[in-house]
Amino acid sequence: MNGMGDEHRYDDIIDLPHHVSAKRKKMDPLSRAAQFSPFAALTGFDDYIFEEGRFTDGKAELDDDEKAAIGSRLSALAGLYPDAGDVIVTYWSEDRKKIGGKYLTVSGKVKKIDPEKGTVTFEGGITLPVCDVFSVCDYGNCSGEE
C-alpha cells in the first residue's frame, strides 16, 4: 500500500477478543522476556578480536659472541652445580596462538644442564631449551655484564 487509507486497515479486527489458548498455560513474564534476550550471533568473535589485538614480540637474533658468552656461562654453571648459586635466565617463549612470542625470566638454582638434549633444568622443574636462552646472570649481579 502507498500509505493512503492505512488508518482504517485493522478496523475489522480491532474489537475482537484477545485469543487465550485452552491447551497451553499462560507464560510467566520472565520466560516471555527470555525470548527477546540478546544472543551471540558470532560466538567466539570477542575472543578472536581480543587475540588479534594482543601484541607479541619478535625473537632477537644473538650474534656469535653473545651465544658464546651464554654458552660459557652455562658451561660454568654445569661445572658448579649443585653448588652453584641462584641465577636469572631470560628466555624466549614462543606464543602458541599467533606468530611471535615474549621474553620471560626465571630465577633459581640450576638442577641440570643436558648438553645432549640442549636443555637447562631448574630446581622447580622448569626446563628450557638452551637455544631459547637470551641471557644468564648471577642473582645479585644482573647489570647486563655476565
Lowest mean pLDDT among 3-7, 41-45, 58-62: 3-7
**Is 44 within the bounds of a domain?**
no
The SS3 call for residue 72 is helix
**Is 91 within the bounds of a domain?**
yes
**Is 8 within the bounds of a domain?**
no
| DSSP alpha helix (H) spans, 14-63 | 29-34, 45-53
- N-terminal to C-terminal alpha carbon distance within the chain: 85
**Is 76 within the bounds of a domain?**
yes
How many structural domains is the chain composed of?
1
Q: What is the pLDDT of residue 116?
A: 87
- Reported pTM: 0.59
**Is 113 within the bounds of a domain?**
yes
**Is 49 within the bounds of a domain?**
no
Distance between CA atoms of residues 94 and 56, nearest Å:
9
Q: What integer is the mean pLDDT of 1-10?
A: 71
Distance between CA atoms of residues 23 and 74, nearest Å:
81
Q: Contact at 8 Å (CB) between 95 and 140?
A: no
**Is 75 within the bounds of a domain?**
yes
Q: Give the tens place of pLDDT for each residue, 15-34.
A: 999 888 999 998 899 988 88
Domain with 91, as residue range(s), is: 64-138
* Residue 60 backbone phi and psi in degrees, to 5: -75, 140
104 pLDDT band, cuts 50/70/90, is: very high
Kindly report the CATH number assigned to the domain that includes residue 117: 2.30.30
Distance between CA atoms of residues 146 and 139, nearest Å:
11
Q: Contact at 8 Å (CB) between 113 and 145?
A: no
Distance between CA atoms of residues 15 and 29, nearest Å:
25
**Is 112 within the bounds of a domain?**
yes
139 pLDDT band, cuts 50/70/90, is: low
